[in-house]
Homo-oligomer: A and B are copies of this chain.
Amino acid sequence: MTEHTTGRVDHEADLRKAGIRITRPRRIILRIVSETDDHPDAYEIFRRAVKVDKNISLSTVYRTMKLLEEHGTIQRHAFAGGPSRFEHAGEEHHDHLIDVETGDVIEFRSDKIEKLQDEIARELGYDILHHKLELYGRKRRSA
């Protein structure tokens, strides 16, 4: 068994199991998204991929992102105005608190809220695939 050097999940095996072909471009893209900390858009992923294999096309990046998204390997974030940005999923989910004054982004997580969301969705007849929660706040000055 070939053990991969990253300590993480073996996505390739995962995808293979789902009947998805592991091609050279896909392997490269997969590596890029699973090794990055930030939230690159398709073009940025393409730019990084080209450094590894000059032939990779932007179309393939887009196609692969869609594939990985459907398979749950990555998550897509759609910001107003700009391109979609992607994030390696499978890490622990978190939400964001944005400091409106400084622009700082604080990550947090609340199981209670997650649970409530599921409840609400169920009541409305839906299953939640994912969600986005952003709190916009100001640092409280202790009176």
A interface residues, Cβ below 8 angstroms from B: 76-81, 84, 97, 99-100, 106, 108, 110, 112-113, 116-117, 120-122, 124-140
Closest to A112 in B: B116
Q: How many copies does the complex hold?
A: 2
Alpha-carbon distance between A125 and B101 when the two chains are bound, in angstroms: 14
Closest to A131 in B: B135
Q: How far is the CB of A103 from chain B (nearest CB, A)?
A: 13
**Complex A-B: 11 CB contacts under 8 Å:** A97-B126, A108-B120, A110-B120, A113-B120, A126-B137, A128-B135, A129-B138, A131-B133, A132-B134, A132-B136, A133-B133
Asked, given contacts A124-B97, A128-B135, A137-B121, whether A84 binds B78 with beta carbons under 8 Å apart, the answer is no
B121–A130 contact, CB under 8 A? no
B127–A138 contact, CB under 8 A? yes
A139–B126 contact, CB under 8 A? yes
A135–B108 contact, CB under 8 A? no
A126–B108 contact, CB under 8 A? no
B117–A140 contact, CB under 8 A? no
Q: How far is the CB of A60 from chain B (nearest CB, A)?
A: 20
Alpha-carbon distance between A124 and B110 when the two chains are bound, in angstroms: 12
Question: Which single member of B132, B135, B138 contacts A117 (CB below 8 Å)?
Answer: B135
